[in-house]
Amino acid sequence: MNKLTPAELALLPKLDRIELITVRLPFVQPFATSVHSWAVKEALLLRIESGGVVGWGECVADPDPYYSYETTQTARHIFKDFLLPQVEAGISFAELGERLRPVRGHGMAKAMLENALLDLVARQRGVPLHELLGWPGRRIQSGISIGIKDSIPELLSAVEEALRRPYHRIKVKIMRGKDVAWLRALRAEFPQIALMADANGDYRIEDAPLLRELDAFNLTMIEQPLSYSDIVQHAALQRELATSLCLDESIHDLDDARAALSLDACRIINIKQGRVGGLLESLRIAAFCHERGVGVWSGGMDETGIGRAFNLHLQAAAGFTLPGDTSETSRYFAEDIVAPGVVLADDGFIEMPTGPGIGVQVLEDRVKRYELERERLS
Ligand code: OSB
Ligand code: MG
């Protein structure tokens, strides 16, 4: 067992009030993957209070199971019936992790709980979250994930607009039928940019010859080309491609990351703290990859400003050497539930919030405005 970190040793405070809040924010424009298109962000939030200090967590599950089997409803059920009963004042985050271990999977529900507790403890100590996690703040690289478009010209203009911000790297979603020709057109127009593609599992191993054609486009990586549940076939595919593979959906915890690297199923991992059970497991995965020279980056789940702030703080850690999917707030929402929003500096970098906890202010009147449901649990 590795030495525990200060955050893992931190103790849970007594909670005076616990609420689950569902919010629904319209997206500025719909976001489409190979699997589904979302027009609104529906998110389950956790609000906890201790001695007048408030901590927030965001569950990255959607109301539907089109990215993961978890949904806002499964997260609510697992949280109320299995996770919350394990929370006890005075135990450490490490002890909480041990108590939650028998609950198989449901990393999104677990991350929401851990998020809120870490934010609360950091706010009580008056330190930024990244400091509680043991890392000095830094400016981070930006990246953008551009959804599936109806036509190649639409994709070209979306990329052009993103380059003007300027984002450090561009990720485009691909799917069967919107792949080789689309990337060829992009490369012809933008020969030099850092470009990658995310298939969200749309291909099968039989598509290896088609995917090999993507080697011509000098992509920094291809993200999750094969099934969300597969690691072995990704290893077979990686042997056939010059381009690095990156796994997203297939990685739920450190053990999955170990399996993927030992099988050479990918050369890069997309760490979404909201998918792998929270920030502490994310840091374990990042450290494991860093020791092996494997790059990681922070993905996103189109979070509200709450979840986005957690993703920012995570990227203070060593190992996050690649630009992630952390984009400007205005790209997702006309109005967010936190202030300030994420903006790019002129050089495309993003500043890490410096205030206590996640370092952004949650605007409770806005939360109320976008609220669908609020359930008080204590
Ligand atoms: O596969 O990384 C993905 C959004 C929702 C579900 C899955 C994915 C994404 C993104 C967008 O790519 C990331 C973001 O902008 O937050
Ligand atoms: Mg992805």
Per-10-residue mean pLDDT of the chain, 378 residues long, equals 88 98 98 98 98 98 98 98 98 98 98 98 98 97 98 98 97 98 98 98 98 98 98 98 98 98 98 98 98 97 98 97 97 98 98 97 98 97
CB 15 within 8 A of CB 87: yes
Q: Nearest Cα to 12, choosing from 118, 112, 102?
A: 118
101-126 in b/e form (b: 16+ CB < 10 A) is: eebeebbbbbbbbbbbbbbbbbbbee
| Ligand 2 center from residue 198 Cα (angstroms) | 6
Could you tell me how many residues make up the chain?
378
DSSP state of 81: I
Q: Examine the residue annotation and report whether 41 is marked as an active-site residue of this protein.
A: no
307, amino acid identity: G
Q: Examine the residue annotation and report whether 368 is marked as an active-site residue of this protein.
A: no
pLDDT of residue 132: 98
Does the beta carbon of 141 lie inside 6 Å of ligand 1? no
Q: Ligand 2 (ion): which residues have CB within 5 A?
A: 198, 223, 248
Distances (CA, A) of 169 to 16, 220, 289, 322, 323: 43, 9, 21, 9, 7
How far apart CA 8 and CA 250 sit, in angstroms, is 25
Q: For tokens 């911000």, what's the residue?
A: 165
Q: Which residues, in sequence order, are bridge partners of residue 20?
A: 46, 375
CA atoms within 13 A on the CB side of 269: 34
pTM of this structure: 0.97
**Which atom of ligand 1 approaches the CA of 270 most closely?**
2
pLDDT of residue 269: 98
pLDDT of residue 1: 53
The single residue of 110, 149, 171, 173 carrying the catalytic annotation is 173
> Coil, strand or helix: which one is 198?
strand
How far apart CA 118 and CA 124 sit, in angstroms, is 10
Cα 13 from chain centroid (whole Å): 26
Tell how strand 222-223 and strand 17-32 pair up: unpaired
Distances (CA, A) of 171 to 33, 91, 143, 219, 220: 12, 41, 7, 10, 10
Q: Nearest Cα to 135, choosing from 293, 254, 272, 279?
A: 279
